[in-house]
Amino acid sequence: MKYLPLNPEIFVQNRKRFVERMEKNAIAIFNSNDELPTNADQLHRFKQNSDLLWLTGIEQEDSMLILFPDNPDAKYREVLVLTRPNELKEKWDGHRLRANEGTGISGITTIVWLDTLDGLLQPWIHLADTIYLNSNENDRKANLVPVRDYRYAEMMKQRFPLHNYKRSARIMKDLRAVKTALEVDVMQKAIDITDITFRRLMQIIKPGIMEYEIEAEIYHSFLSQRATGPAYGSIIASGDRARTLHYVENSRECKDGELILMDFGAEYGNYCADLTRTVPVNGKFGRRQKTVYNACLHLHHYAASILKPGISIVDYTEKIGDEATVVFQKIGLLKKSDIKNEDPENRAYRKYLYHGISHHLGIDVHDLGTRTAPVKAGMVFTIEPGIYIEEEQMGIRIENNFWITRNGNKDLMKNIPITVEEIEAYMKK
């Protein structure tokens, strides 16, 4: 790993929170992700299962976690399963974790090698009444591949058909949405790396630079600061391409007079940052660009003022829609007649702001959490309003990351330049 070792207490606390939610005399089993093939004999870069990461910090493939808090043998109430180190495999693929290293990362003292697990697991299952199995229950999941969690669930139900089965995902969705202070410390490191990178970008952006050159600088800056890399595919969209929300081609020239929308964030310790800034390619906002940018910034600040414990994301989005309706009328995007005749299911402001304002952020850039239940203290959200004007070939989005507190929220990106004046001054240096 490129990043410095994390405090294992992060994972100790996370496991404790999960165990507290388990039924009595239950066992929970978590699997690592599959290694996925590309073509020929190649594999995609391995990406660990987010839930297993959240509970252990272990990034290695073929790993497992078993939690059985009522196991009569206290030694086996918390077990980390690792692949036994193999000299030949290490010659090809590099170092594999030793038992003491797994303990150092996760805080788990009992390490079991995968090739010995079956003989241990069966007696534990026979002692348990309930088995918690994991699955990916992100509401936007679009994976049709029968991944390991689902294959494992089928195998367990065939071997042990009379047990009571529960979904770990129901618990994980609640727990992962609320971050501990230790988790936010790691997220802040990813944010600080992203901050430094954005300041570097403002020094190199000028007419004629290519979008991919900016993307390359992002990657260089992240790696040079011990980040794993980008938390997601960086969006570097100049001119009219900024209206495409997930523009990742990043292949065009940035021209004088255009704005460039940059949506990027570092991943550090497997936790994500998610920043968007829109800046003028030539370092100076035009009059209309400034007007629209400040309107977007107003919506950003308004959203921050109402994102507090107790509100639901649905209600919060509706309130921002009300404010956007007023703002868009002021800057000439909407007429009174547009508002009067709008379809309540497709409001007039949606022509210029056609995405959600906030999403959960954590180990995944679109992290687990609900949209309908009230916001809770400890959650981390993005706030990212945008204004996209087809007739003006302009797209502007402004995004910061916020940690929800007991009475409001804390802007984790408060030190990153955001106003017209701050951006112009920095680009002038």
The enclosing domain of 297 has a CATH number of 3.90.230.10
Q: Which of 177, 193, 221 is the last residue of a domain?
A: 177
The parent domain of residue 304 ranges over 181-428
Count the domains in the chain: 2
Q: Which of 177, 198, 225 is the last residue of a domain?
A: 177
Same domain, 163 and 251: no
Which pLDDT belongs to residue 320?
98
Question: Does 94 score more than 90 pLDDT?
Answer: yes
Instruction: Please report whether residue 398 resides in a domain.
Output: yes
Which pLDDT belongs to residue 273?
98
Confidence of residue 1 (pLDDT cuts 50, 70, 90): confident
Instruction: Please report whether residue 2 resides in a domain.
Output: no
Same domain, 128 and 101: yes
Same domain, 240 and 205: yes
Helix, strand, coil tally for the chain in percent (to 5): 40, 20, 40
From CA 304, how far away is CA 179, in angstroms rounded? 19
Q: Which of 177, 209, 239 is the last residue of a domain?
A: 177
For residue 410, list its beta bridge partners.
Answer: 403
Same domain, 188 and 173: no
Q: Which residues have CB under 8 Å from 42's CB, separation 6+? A: none
Q: Could you report the per-residue pLDDT of 173-187, keeping only the tens digit for each?
A: 999 999 999 999 999
Which pLDDT belongs to residue 137?
85
Instruction: Please report whether residue 1 resides in a domain.
Output: no
Which pLDDT belongs to residue 89?
87
CA dihedral 280, 382, 45, 57 (to 10 degrees): 140
Q: Could you report the per-residue pLDDT of 119-153, keeping only the tens digit for each?
A: 999 999 999 999 999 998 877 777 778 899 999 99
Mean pLDDT, residues 7-12 taken together: 98
Give the distance from CA 301 to its chain's centroid.
Answer: 22
Task: Please give the single-letter amino acid code of residue 337.
Answer: S
- What CATH number does residue 119 fall under? 3.40.350.10
Q: Report the chain's mean pLDDT, rounded to a whole number.
A: 96
Q: Which residues have CB under 8 Å from 105's CB, separation 6+? A: 5, 6, 8, 11, 56, 57, 58, 97
More confidently predicted of 36 and 66: 66
Same domain, 407 and 260: yes
Instruction: Please report whether residue 40 resides in a domain.
Output: yes
DSSP, collapsed to helix, strand or coil, labels residue 158 as helix
Instruction: Please report whether residue 3 resides in a domain.
Output: no
**End-to-end Cα spacing for the chain:** 35
Tokens of 60: 């290695």
Instruction: Please report whether residue 344 resides in a domain.
Output: yes
Which pLDDT belongs to residue 183?
98
Q: Could you report the per-residue pLDDT of 215-238, keeping only the tens digit for each?
A: 999 999 999 999 999 999 999 999
From CA 417, how far away is CA 419, in angstroms rounded? 6
Low-confidence winner among 85-94, 353-362, 405-414 (lowest mean pLDDT): 85-94
Q: Could you report the per-residue pLDDT of 293-328, keeping only the tens digit for each?
A: 999 999 999 999 999 999 999 999 999 999 999 999
Which pLDDT belongs to residue 429?
83
Instruction: Please report whether residue 295 resides in a domain.
Output: yes
Regarding beta strands 259-264 and 266-268, do their DSSP bridges make them parallel or antiparallel, or are they unpaired? unpaired
Mean pLDDT, residues 17-40 taken together: 96
Same domain, 164 and 240: no
Same domain, 133 and 252: no
Instruction: Please report whether residue 345 resides in a domain.
Output: yes
Same domain, 55 and 24: yes
Which pLDDT belongs to residue 371?
84
Confidence of residue 4 (pLDDT cuts 50, 70, 90): very high
Q: CA dist 256 to 208, 262, 282, 350, 390, Å?
A: 8, 16, 6, 29, 19
